[in-house]
């Protein structure tokens, strides 16, 4: 009986010794949280959206939209839209997913598409990402009608993917 008790106590002490040497490491969102880098605030939000509008008469491009959403499964949804105030010859949308690291935004992937003879277009993509970083979307929204070309470049804030 004493022998079993000693073995149990020894095993528990070994387990405690091992557990006391384990260092818990996690990416800390709070170090950069709230910092503004290249116009984007680093947030702990689940999504971020940027809308650039023109309400001046005579323009062909009314709005450019960029949005990023944490899908909470190791991926983000990036979305963009080009909204013309008239039917345009061509609308072009380019969405660039960027990751923040060491004080800079780095391009991860760019998705581009266009549509003809329309006043609006939108696109959405689900993209797998590495956890432990901030991500944002930078959009290039372009409308062309005849010899007139107008553009908007909405950029979201950075969202933490943990």
SS3 64: strand
Residue 82 lies in a domain: yes
* Domain housing 152: 28-161
φ and ψ of 18, to 5 deg: -65, -45
Residue 86 lies in a domain: yes
Residue 65 lies in a domain: yes
Residue 43 lies in a domain: yes
Residue 45 lies in a domain: yes
C-alpha count within 13 angstroms, C-beta hemisphere, residue 111: 16
Count of structural domains within the chain: 1
Check residues 16 and 89 and name the one with the higher pLDDT: 89
Q: What is the mean pLDDT of residues 120-140?
A: 98
Residue 155 lies in a domain: yes
Residue 47, pLDDT score? 98
Residue 20 lies in a domain: no
Q: What is the dihedral of CA 140, 146, 148, 150, to 10 degrees?
A: -20
Mean pLDDT rounded to a whole number for the chain: 87
Confidence band of 29 (pLDDT split at 50, 70, 90): low
Q: Which of 3-12, 21-30, 127-136 has the lowest mean pLDDT?
A: 21-30
pLDDT tens, position by position, 37-50: 999 999 999 999 99
Residue 23 lies in a domain: no
- The CATH number assigned to the domain holding 127 equals 2.60.40.640
């Amino acid at each position: 009986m004493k022998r079993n008790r000693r073995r149990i106590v020894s095993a528990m002490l070994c387990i405690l010794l091992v557990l006391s040497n384990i260092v818990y490491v996690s990416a800390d969102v709070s170090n950069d949280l709230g910092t503004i880098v290249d116009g984007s605030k680093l947030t702990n939000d689940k999504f971020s959206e940027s809308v650039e509008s023109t309400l001046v008469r005579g323009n062909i491009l009314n709005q450019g939209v960029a949005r990023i959403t944490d899908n909470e499964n190791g991926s983000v949804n990036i979305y963009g839209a080009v909204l013309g105030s008239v039917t345009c010859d061509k609308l072009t949308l380019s969405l660039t997913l960027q990751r923040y690291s060491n004080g800079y935004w780095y391009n991860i992937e760019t998705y581009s598409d266009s549509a003809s003879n329309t006043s609006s277009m939108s696109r959405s993509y689900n993209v797998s990402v590495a956890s432990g970083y901030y991500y944002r979307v930078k959009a290039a929204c372009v409308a062309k009608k005849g010899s007139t070309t107008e553009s908007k470049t909405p950029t979201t804030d950075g969202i933490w993917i943990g």
